[in-house]
Amino acid sequence: MLFTAPAAMAESAAPTPPDDGWKMADAKALGWHTSLFETADRKVADGTWKGTTSLLVVHDGKLIHERYYNGGSREHLNDTRSLTKTVTAMLLGAA
């Protein structure tokens, strides 16, 4: 995105338009603190977040951040396990 990714991370930059229907938007233009994305990248690279293969952020139905790590890719099937429960609980709590 705004920096050179460490070797532990797969290639990525600002999200490239996928051919799967996702619309794109610029995170910074939407007011996101993009430095938090860089912090996440460092945590994966230094082993704090072990086993992380991807981080995608969607804002109002538009993909604003897409990064892959540790062999992850758009084509890689990700095992979300308890993350799905966590997100569901957050959404229900916010309703």
pTM for this structure? 0.66
What per-residue confidence (pLDDT) applies to 19? 74
DSSP 8-state symbol, 13: -
Q: Which two three-digit tokens encode residue 94? A: 């916010």
φ, ψ dihedrals at 89, nearest 5°: -65, -40
Run of H or E including 62: strand 62-68
50-69 tens-digit pLDDT: 888 888 888 998 999 999 99
